[in-house]
């Protein structure tokens, strides 16, 4: 009914890379803190970096709970579900880190996402996750659902922003610079400009 994997490769990697949506879960250390669960799903915004490391692009939004929790304690779980084909659920439990625009690693990490226009989505960080436990479960109760297409609303909204107005947008939001529980979130003002791709 379930299996633990030593690495992300072979059929497991193929399954993860084929899914159109995945979920991230984080929490603060405080017992009464707010647990966060987020869907992620823009095509081209997720990458397997090696057998134990994955990354995804963190785009503009009205909060930064994942970033805040990772800055405090690093704990994160990623989950993929099979909505078509054989039933399966895969979870990667690990340690995550937000890599911000002014980090020297940022341009190199950005090269792992060649198929998405990061500027039109207001890219603010790359979340890098190192797996500590990789496992799957049956997924027998997950319904069949068909993918149709990505929504264009996010790009339609944020391609109107430049780096300066994007930073101003974040500064107006109550839970971007700090989390719901008051933990440090996205560092502001946003480092400018977005580093160019080397390719």
- Average pLDDT score over residue span 158-169: 92
CA-CA-CA-CA torsion sign (145, 93, 62, 193)? negative
Predicted confidence at residue 145, as pLDDT, reads 96
CB 101 within 8 A of CB 191: yes
CB 39 within 8 A of CB 25: no
pTM comes to 0.95
Predicted confidence at residue 55, as pLDDT, reads 98
The string of pLDDT tens digits covering residues 20-64 is 999 999 999 999 999 999 999 999 999 999 999 999 999 999 999
Predicted confidence at residue 2, as pLDDT, reads 84
Phi/psi at 41 (nearest 5 deg)? -160, 15
Burial class (CB in 10 A: 0-12, 13-18, 19+), 2: exposed
Q: What percent of the chain has pLDDT over 70?
A: 98
∠ CA 164-166-169, nearest 5°, is 115
CB 76 within 8 A of CB 90: no
Predicted confidence at residue 191, as pLDDT, reads 86
- Average pLDDT score over residue span 96-124: 94
Predicted confidence at residue 198, as pLDDT, reads 65
């Amino acid at each position: 009914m379930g299996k633990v994997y030593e690495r992300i490769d072979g059929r497991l990697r193929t399954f993860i890379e084929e899914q159109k949506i995945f979920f991230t879960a984080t929490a603060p250390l405080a017992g009464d803190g707010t647990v966060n669960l987020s869907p992620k799903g823009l095509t081209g915004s997720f990458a397997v970096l090696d057998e134990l490391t994955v990354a995804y692009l963190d785009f503009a939004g009205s909060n930064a709970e994942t970033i805040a929790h990772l800055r405090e304690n690093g704990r994160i779980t990623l989950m993929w579900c099979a909505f078509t084909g054989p039933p399966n659920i895969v979870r990667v439990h690990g340690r995550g880190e937000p890599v911000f625009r002014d980090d020297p690693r940022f341009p190199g990490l950005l090269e792992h996402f060649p198929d998405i226009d990061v500027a039109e989505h207001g890219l603010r960080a790359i979340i890098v996750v190192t797996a500590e436990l990789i496992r799957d479960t049956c997924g027998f109760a997950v319904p069949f659902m068909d993918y149709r297409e990505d929504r264009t609303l996010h790009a339609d909204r944020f391609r109107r922003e430049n780096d300066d107005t994007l930073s101003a947008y974040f500064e107006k939001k109550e839970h971007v610079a700090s989390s719901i529980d008051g933990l440090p979130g996205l560092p502001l003002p946003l480092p400018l400009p977005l580093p160019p791709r080397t390719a």
